[in-house]
Structure 1
Amino acid sequence: MRRPAKTLISATTAITLSALTAPAFAEGHTVQLRIQNHQAPESTSGRLIAEFVENVETMSNGEIQIEMFYSASVVKSVETFDAAASGILDCDMTNGSYQTGKNPAFQFVADTMGGYDTPIQYQAWVNFGGGKEQINELYNALGMTFVGAHVGGQESLNSTHPLAGPDDLKEFKFRSPPGMESEIFASLGAKPIVMDFTEIFTALETGIIDGADASTLAVNRGLGIYDIAKHTTYPGFHSMSSDHLACRTDVWEGMTDQQRAIITAAEKVLAMDLIMLTLVENGEALAELPAEGVTIYDWSAEDRSAFRAAAQNAWTEWAEKTPETKAMVDSHKAFGKRIGLTE
């Protein structure tokens, strides 16, 4: 039975956690970055993150060296942002939704829950719709700088019980990330339980949860989730959660323009490769999962609209929480109209 890896991977060089407490970078000097993500190294995202590390080292001719920590092996996923801001790490490659306790606006960095149909639409908002600038107004105030985002596509719910439509959400105990998603599913009768990404497999195995919002069809399969949970939704409809690369601002600004450009370019390569590889691997998983005893549910347009209506209600409520949240929601709405997604 496959399980999420808990090992620490060093993609380039091994450096101590205290090696870079006060950045003093100059052109020609080696930059050493400690970055944590919450993905298993064998997952789709994990493999591409390893390529990101290699690309940065190659493009910088070894001037930028990264020690990448997988599966939240240094601190818990929810603590990664603070660990980077405080100097335990240098950069955070987890998910903005873990920081909604600081400001609800983080929800709309990580997952708009029904806001976009494709990952390209979200990436267009980040890179050409003012998203990056909007996000950095939020991150800079906390000593962090948003570099970029990567998301493969719509995620698939999985369960040990049927998930044929909204009625099956009643009393459904499932792992949910923190933030708006929990409220949306609770309004539909589900029982969301917030827990760390790395705890999903054990919670399923022990029956603490009936299912999970983990990741895409292919990643769920790679994690071994479908060894236990034999019911899943596809195509996904509920979530398209985007992970980020965010670095402590003094670290980011301490690098040269060239070094920052290399990391930014490598992050964009990661983002596009993740979209393409997710499409391929989801297709392969879709063809093979039925033979493994997994039932796949494609919700009707009517059922999807029921979820989207609940999500839009949550958008309206969340926009009133803080000025930053309202600004983020307004930015998404304006961009949706700009690209013809909404009226």
Structure 2
Amino acid sequence: MKLLKTVASIAVVAAMAATSAVADGHATTKLRIQTHFSPETLSGKMAAGFIEDVTAMSNGEIAIEMFYSSSVVKSVETFDAAATGILDCDMTGGAYQTGKNPAFQFAGDLNGGYANPYQQMSWLLHGDGYKALNDLYNPYGMEFVGWWIPGPESLVSTAPIRGAEDFKNWKFRSPPGMITNIFKNLGASPIVMDFNEIFTALETGIIDGADAANLTNNIGLGLYDIAKHTNYPGFHSMPADHLACNKDIWDAMPAHHQAILKVGMQALALKNTSINEVENAKNSVSLAAKGVNMYEWPAEETAKYREAVQSAWTDYATTPEAEALLGSHLNFLRGIGAME
């Protein structure tokens, strides 16, 4: 009980420190935010652009100190660090928190549920997305502020991946979480491993392929130097990164600061999706010219994947919060005719 009171006290003090008033009566908000991206990456540069936008829109009333490359705590610990006042906000992703509640999987990636980032952002902006996500986040002492979604990822493989049948006995690097269940349902053999192990595992034949990132980031990882088969456009995974802030700090902000941060995230989302779409399209042309085989799956093949996905959704929705969040997504998708 003492520890709980101490943590609560830290959070209250942090909230008071984060938002204050200067001599002229204008409120100021100071935020310490951690992202897992490095400042040199495209995503890191876009996070810096978000800071510039927020600073300009608030006329300097909101000051953000960004910690890149998970330099304060590990990526998976960022959410708790913000909730307890070590940081103020988390700019990683909800899917890191599935150990708390499997519902966080549906706050990060519906794995094949949405066709593109614009459709998923439509649920957030025009469905009940903000409320549904904060019904999950708020009990953990956090406020969901916004998403930024690069777009569908592309698999890489040393063998053709023309359709679902090619996944039979396919050994590949998989991130943790629901995606492993989906590919097992299709007959594949997922092996969970870190990013820095993928290249060597492909090179030595430990794996046949990888679920790593989109075309642009796969190139950065050097995967197409070994694996000459990929699917584009992607369809299997579309992870969303979030901005989530300590709820006490969020509630202490003036309404116009809250609005600036939400609108800043919406601007970041559009810039992020569009630049990744442009870069992936350019890279699809250059990869094809270099002899990489590009596979665009026909509707009947993606339907097979969607069938496996729906089974995994049901298996993963094991808590009331997960059922509620998944239900919100599915009601929206059915409402716009994107699924039966």
Match of 1:278 in 2: 276
Shift of 1:21: 6.5
Q: Distance in 2 between matches of 1:21 and 1:200?
A: 43
Match of 1:306 in 2: 304
Q: Distance in 2 between matches of 1:184 and 1:235?
A: 19
Match of 2:14 in 1: 22
Match of 1:62 in 2: 60
Shift of 1:125: 0.7
Output one character per residue of 1:102-127: Cα deviation in whole Å (capped at 9) or x when no partner. Answer: 11111111111221112111111111
Shift of 1:197: 5.0
Shift of 1:140: 0.5
Output one character per residue of 1:162-213: Cα deviation in whole Å (capped at 9) or x when no partner. Answer: 3233233234333323221111112222232334556655665676644332
Amino acid at match of 2:14: A
SS in 1 for 2:15: coil
Output one character per residue of 1:113-157: Cα deviation in whole Å (capped at 9) or x when no partner. Answer: 221112111111111110110110110011111001111221111
The verdict on how the C-alpha distance between 1:47 and 1:223 changes in structure 2, with shifts beyond 3 A counting, is farther
8 Å contact kept, 1:43–1:222: no
Q: Distance in 1 between matches of 2:179 and 2:127?
A: 24
8 Å contact kept, 1:43–1:219: no
Amino acid at match of 1:219: N
Of 161, 175, 178, which aligns to 1:177? 175
Amino acid at match of 2:254: T
Q: Distance in 2 between matches of 1:206 and 1:42?
A: 29
Output one character per residue of 1:8-38: Cα deviation in whole Å (capped at 9) or x when no partner. Answer: xxxxxxxxxx9x9622112435433222222
Q: Does 1:325 pair with 2:325?
A: no
8 Å contact kept, 1:44–1:278: no
The verdict on how the C-alpha distance between 1:342 and 1:164 changes in structure 2, with shifts beyond 3 A counting, is closer
8 Å contact kept, 2:27–2:254: no
Map 1:7-86 → 2, pairs under 5 A: 22-24=14-16, 25-27=19-21, 28=26, 30-86=28-84
The verdict on how the C-alpha distance between 1:82 and 1:212 changes in structure 2, with shifts beyond 3 A counting, is farther
Q: Distance in 1 between matches of 2:196 and 2:35?
A: 11
Rg (Cα) greater in structure: 2
Shift of 1:158: 1.6
Q: Distance in 2 between matches of 1:70 and 1:204?
A: 29
Name the TM-score, length of structure 2 as normaliser: 0.86
**5+ residue gaps, structure 1:** 1-17
**What is the count of residue pairs matched by the alignment?**
324
- Larger helix share, 1 or 2: 2
Output one character per residue of 1:271-303: Cα deviation in whole Å (capped at 9) or x when no partner. Answer: 111121122111101111123342222223222
Q: Distance in 2 between matches of 1:311 and 1:66?
A: 39
The verdict on how the C-alpha distance between 1:150 and 1:315 changes in structure 2, with shifts beyond 3 A counting, is same
Output one character per residue of 1:86-116: Cα deviation in whole Å (capped at 9) or x when no partner. Answer: 2232211112111111111111111112211
SS in 2 for 1:189: coil
Map 1:112-261 → 2, pairs under 5 A: 112-196=110-194, 200=198, 209-261=207-259
The verdict on how the C-alpha distance between 1:102 and 1:197 changes in structure 2, with shifts beyond 3 A counting, is farther
The verdict on how the C-alpha distance between 1:56 and 1:199 changes in structure 2, with shifts beyond 3 A counting, is farther
SS in 1 for 2:82: helix
Q: Does 1:337 pair with 2:318?
A: no
Write out the 4+ residue segments of structure 1 that deviate beyond 6 Å after TM superposition.
none
The verdict on how the C-alpha distance between 1:32 and 1:195 changes in structure 2, with shifts beyond 3 A counting, is farther
Match of 1:92 in 2: 90
Match of 2:3 in 1: none
**5+ residue gaps, structure 2:** 1-9
Of 295, 312, 315, which aligns to 2:313? 315
SS in 2 for 1:283: helix
The verdict on how the C-alpha distance between 1:182 and 1:252 changes in structure 2, with shifts beyond 3 A counting, is same
Amino acid at match of 1:66: I
8 Å contact kept, 1:71–1:198: no
Shift of 1:264: 1.0
Give me the CA root mean square deviation: 2.5
Q: Distance in 2 between matches of 1:171 and 1:269?
A: 42
Match of 2:289 in 1: 291
8 Å contact kept, 1:36–1:93: yes
Name the TM-score, length of structure 1 as normaliser: 0.85
Q: Distance in 2 between matches of 1:45 and 1:274?
A: 8
SS in 2 for 1:141: helix
